[in-house]
Amino acid sequence: MENFNAPIVAAMKKYSADGVIAFHTPGHKQGRGAHELLRELLTAEGLRQEVSLMEELDDLHAPHSCIMEAQALAAKLWHVDECLFMVNGTTSAVQAMLFGTLKAGDLVMVPRNAHRSVIAGLILSGAVPIFLPVEFNDEFNLPLNVSVETIERAIKKFPQARAVLLVSPNYYGVAADLSTIAKLVHAAGMLLLIDEAHGAHLTFCDELPTSAMEAGADLAAQSTHKILGSLTQSSMIMLKEGFINVERVKRAASLLQTTSPNQLLLASLDIARLQMERDGRKKICAAVELSKALRIEIKNIHGLKVFDFANLDPTKVTVNVQGLGLTGQEAEEILRRELKVQCELSDAANLLFLITFADDFETTSKLIDALKHLPQRPPIKILPPLMSKSISVAKLSPRETFYAPAEVVALNESVGRICAEEITLYPPGIPLIMPGEEISAHVIELIHQSTGRVIGANDSILATIKVINERELPSRRAV
């Protein structure tokens, strides 16, 4: 058998080659009963190896052989103490970080634009969020990250907080100054948890922002599938011993993962690690150089601007199309339908393109050519976003809010009430108020001033708002 040095893959190949007659799950029985459409999606060999729960394939919830070995190899490569493979996506990894480190009533600082998995993790843990404002770039109309100064203010205001959770890098590739923040957070006796979904590759090139764990974080959740080569839905949790209870985090991860993990997802994590171990530095640094060349070319296209920032992952190429008289959404539609190029996302003013080790001169040349064919229209102006800049603590925890009775009242009569829904104005797409927060007169004023689209609210014109019915609420509150 070929020596893959990928323990999970080796165990799968050995089992499928053993010639056993399967009287176990999955129902397609190593591909024999697979529908022809499924056969088109997976190779015959892939179907033969799509089994799980056999003794020699190990147990994700109590690893002792090939999975344990594969996780240890990943931990060594990413320079962490332990690594956990996740097959329910980074959503479950983020939830496990919160569920595995916090308890009901604990205060945790989170950015206002955190992924929805953070709120789910807070519901599970019972912790209470302290919402941190996110810096914003007005020229490109996009969010940056949480500043060191904001963390300093938040620690001073809430020294009793248990942890800080940040998203770094964010979707646009902007990283927080994690090395400085880690020192501040640990000096205050708090944990530093990082949603690093978009940063699994940072370890492999010195020109990229420092990875979360190398910067001093205690836990990081990585989407191995987003930038590296594993299958969608496969992720990893990186752990550092010292400030966290490692076994509790493992229990939390186990509670949040399926008891029937897809072996192909596990194998893809093993293979992604192997790929990075063999020539990851070469591949990732090549992607960085390719993205640099792409940026120069795009800057020379009339009407387009490319976002640059001090602590930016350059492989996230954000292109501002306002100079063409287009919104980001209009430009995405033209690229997709007419020019056969698909971006990662569009917003009010920008397009985001991801450059990975799978790209080359040919793919980026086609992108440049497509961008040159975007039409020129009359100039448009996007109004600056309306955002909350305060550091605020929720009045009710997400868990209490989730179960609390709610009612609908007129927006202008909601000051002082506890919000029961998320109110997001687009642009910028950052929640103005979250469930469990007290509605202030300032928030009402910002809503009235807004000309953007409302996301998350039951009433799309916000004449009314859903609030907690405090008359039916138990007397105890989280804060």
Q: Extract long-range pairs of 155-161: CB within 8 Å, 24+ residues apart.
A: 155/184, 155/185, 155/188, 155/190, 157/391, 158/107, 158/109, 158/130, 158/391, 158/393, 159/188, 160/107, 161/106, 161/107, 161/108, 161/109, 161/130, 161/188, 161/190
Is 424 part of a structural domain of the chain? yes
Pairing of strands 107-111, 163-167: parallel
Q: How many domains does the chain have?
A: 2
Is 421 part of a structural domain of the chain? yes
Q: Looking at the structure, do residues 368 and 406 belong to the same domain, yes or no?
A: no
Is 32 part of a structural domain of the chain? no
Residue type, 450: S
Q: Looking at the structure, do residues 407 and 458 belong to the same domain, yes or no?
A: yes
Q: Looking at the structure, do residues 292 and 366 belong to the same domain, yes or no?
A: yes
Round to whole Å and give the CA distance between 70 and 64. 10
Q: Looking at the structure, do residues 359 and 419 belong to the same domain, yes or no?
A: no
Q: Looking at the structure, do residues 427 and 465 belong to the same domain, yes or no?
A: yes
Buried b (16+ CB within 10 A) or exposed e, 385-401: bbbbeebbbbbbbbbbb
Structure tokens at 390: 């305060």
So what's the pLDDT on residue 21?
82
Nearest to 188 by CA among 162, 214, 212: 162
Round to whole Å and give the CA distance between 311 and 466. 39
Q: Looking at the structure, do residues 399 and 465 belong to the same domain, yes or no?
A: yes
pTM above 0.75, yes or no: yes
Last residue of a domain, which of 319, 343, 372?
372
The conformation of residue 100, written as its DSSP 8-state character, comes to: T
Which positions ≥6 away from 286 have C-beta within 8 Å? 357
Q: Looking at the structure, do residues 368 and 437 belong to the same domain, yes or no?
A: no
Nearest to 383 by CA among 350, 346, 433, 427: 427
- Whether 434 and 122 have beta carbons less than 8 Å apart is answered as no
Round to whole Å and give the CA distance between 261 and 266. 8
Last residue of a domain, which of 337, 372, 407?
372
Pairing of strands 142-143, 136-137: antiparallel
Round to whole Å and give the CA distance between 99 and 96. 5
Is 315 part of a structural domain of the chain? yes
Q: Looking at the structure, do residues 284 and 367 belong to the same domain, yes or no?
A: yes
Is 310 part of a structural domain of the chain? yes
Is 128 part of a structural domain of the chain? no
Write the CATH number for 298.
Answer: 3.90.1150.10
Tens of pLDDT, residue by residue, the chain (479 residues) = 444 689 999 999 998 888 888 878 788 888 888 888 888 889 999 988 988 888 889 999 999 999 999 999 999 999 999 999 999 999 999 999 999 999 999 999 999 989 889 999 999 999 999 999 999 998 998 999 999 999 999 999 999 999 999 999 999 999 999 999 999 999 999 999 999 999 999 999 999 999 999 999 999 999 999 999 999 999 999 999 999 999 999 999 999 999 999 999 999 999 999 999 999 999 999 999 999 999 999 999 999 999 999 999 999 999 999 999 999 999 999 999 999 999 999 988 999 999 999 999 999 999 999 999 999 999 887 766 667 788 999 999 999 999 999 999 999 999 999 999 988 877 667 788 889 999 999 889 888 887 677 888 889 899 999 999 998 877 655 44
DSSP string, 260-285: S--HHHHHHHHHHHHHHHHHHHHHHH
Integer-rounded Cα radius of gyration of the chain: 24
Is 95 part of a structural domain of the chain? no
User: Locate tokens 């323990």: which residue?
Assistant: 7
So what's the pLDDT on residue 386?
65
Q: Looking at the structure, do residues 400 and 353 belong to the same domain, yes or no?
A: no
Write the CATH number for 450.
Answer: 3.90.100.10
Q: Looking at the structure, do residues 364 and 396 belong to the same domain, yes or no?
A: no
Is 330 part of a structural domain of the chain? yes
Task: Provide the residue range defining the domain that includes 407.
Answer: 392-472
Last residue of a domain, which of 308, 338, 372?
372
- Whether 136 and 385 have beta carbons less than 8 Å apart is answered as yes
Q: Looking at the structure, do residues 364 and 398 belong to the same domain, yes or no?
A: no
